[in-house]
Amino acid sequence: MVTLWRGRFLKLGIEGLLKDAPRPGRTPAITSEVMATLIAKTTQSTPANATQRSTRTMAKEMRISKASVSRIWRANGLKPHRIDSFKVSNDPNFADKLEEIVGLYLNPPEHALVLSVVEKSQIQALYRT
């Protein structure tokens, strides 16, 4: 152990002693392709025999644990059980458009004003003070 730390000191100086060396860690059991498929199914389709997805049905369909489905949904802010605030988009370019719009808010062009207009078809536009 002394030889290891001495070698790190000779190679990196004091900075090499201040923090531990990076380790590879455990490889994820769920690949990024499986996660992307799960997110796509959650946001762009509904099950044939139900009105919404549940962690159990999605886990069975994807062949992963329901805890993994829940963890992935939580990490991506997905709440398919909340119908009043979660809408499924049929647009295949939805993710690209979303990134472009959010990018405008996060990094607006110089000397520009970014406004958002939302259409609400069931509400009549009236002059209100």
Residue 64: the pLDDT is 95
Residue carrying structure tokens 């690949």: 31
> Which is nearest to 52 in space by CA: 15, 22, 25, 82?
82
- pLDDT band at residue 121, thresholds of 50, 70 and 90? low
How far does Cα 16 stand from its chain's mean position?
A: 34
> pLDDT digit string (tens) for 13-45?
888 888 887 888 888 889 999 999 999 998 888
What's the whole-model pTM score? 0.50
Indicate the helix (H) or strand (E) that contains 5: helix 2-12
> pLDDT digit string (tens) for 61-75?
999 999 999 999 999
> pLDDT digit string (tens) for 56-112?
999 999 999 999 999 999 999 898 877 554 556 778 888 898 888 888 888 888 988
> Which is nearest to 87 in space by CA: 119, 36, 54, 52?
52
